[in-house]
Structure 1
Amino acid sequence: MPKLTVHPPEWIDSAPAVAESSVAIDAPPAAVWARIADHESWPEWFTDLKKVERVGTGVGVGSGRKVGIALITIDEEFTAWTENEHFAFAVTKTPVPVLTALVESVRIEETEAGCTVTYRQGVAGRTGFGWLAKRIAAQLQGQTGDALQNLKRLVEA
């Protein structure tokens, strides 16, 4: 599987293609964090994912997970982790040969009514495939928007 460049979450601001989705959730940040930090349960709300499993015994920066999407599996490494506020990860290996980087960041910000969850993704493609990176980012934005709505329903139930 091709290896991708691991960037910090701030790289998303300058990524060639960016996807961003947000949702207001009527629940405290800790309740949302409990759901999103439970990696194995992601397919319950991020329905495009078929399976998520942690790699190793640790949590936080440097830990990893394997994610099954359709017929492929990708490897991810966490690059940021602040409980109840933020985590980010970079895809380290994927069978998609046109990608050179894919970084994702999830922020939870407390509001008067609960919190806002913002999910951002930065995508870079190999030379000549920038157009495809933009299409991938657009697809990710739609999938993530749907996933955040599902997360909202689950957490608020």
Structure 2
Amino acid sequence: MESTAGEMGTIWNTLDGQGSRSFWKDAMLNVEPVDQTFLARIKNPIIVEHTLNASKHKIWIVISDNSTWTQWYPGLSQCKTTSPYTGLGSTRRVKQSWWLSDERIVLWEPNRAWGYTLESYNAPIFKHLFEQIELEEIGDVHTTPKTVVRYKGAYEAHWLMWFYSWQIEWELSSLWRKALKSLEKYCSE
């Protein structure tokens, strides 16, 4: 489909009844999937940590259940499993504002670590994206359980977004700081 910049603006701002841009339903961009080794290849991965007053088992139950993500991750309106199972290799579709993405779970270590890679999405922002959550319980058996939740993210910007890499990094960091605080509140309910 050929279009001018003006037509693209109209397409970006036109929503259908599902809250998705009709144009992008058929225009998902494929991304080369990566795994956690991608973190080591990136010079400055994004790291956000927050200590939660909850056991790592309780936190694991929440992060490994796609249906809970819309309740604690800021702005997420959809997070649904698209494969017939959950766990390593499973897939999900995520919708946040205008962003629509298909993701594959590539790290699944119960009560320890969870991560995904981007497989396709509807906007030329990333060439590669990998995000993971690590859980580390601290304290002893005689105290209220506390868990350090560590988000690590790594991306390579699409060439169209290279100039905005600093803003992408800031946005991801900011979103995950809010998400981890919201996760704490969700786990305490």
TM-score computed with the length of structure 1 as normaliser: 0.92
> Which structure dedicates a bigger proportion of its chain to strand?
1
Pairs within 5 Å for 1:2-151: 2-15=29-42, 18-112=45-139, 113-127=145-159, 129-151=161-183
Q: What is the percentage of aligned positions where both structures have the same residue?
A: 18
Tell me the CA shift for residue 137 of structure 1: 1.9
DSSP 3-state at the match of 2:70 = helix
DSSP 3-state at the match of 1:93 = strand
Asked if structure 1 preserves the Cα contact closer than 8 Å seen for 2:124 and 2:160, the reply is no
Distance in 2 of aligned mates of 1:128 and 1:56:
31
Asked if structure 2 preserves the Cα contact closer than 8 Å seen for 1:17 and 1:137, the reply is no
Structure 1, unmatched stretches of 5+, are none
TM-score computed with the length of structure 2 as normaliser: 0.77
Tell me the CA shift for residue 17 of structure 1: 5.6
Greater C-alpha Rg: 2
Q: Give the 4+ runs in structure 1 shifted more than 4 A.
A: none
Tell me the CA shift for residue 10 of structure 1: 2.5
- Amino acid corresponding to residue 59 of structure 1 in structure 2: T
- Amino acid corresponding to residue 80 of structure 2 in structure 1: E
Give me the CA root mean square deviation: 1.6
State the aligned residue count: 157
Asked if structure 1 preserves the Cα contact closer than 8 Å seen for 2:54 and 2:147, the reply is yes
Structure having greater relative contact order (Cα 8 Å, sep ≥ 6): 1
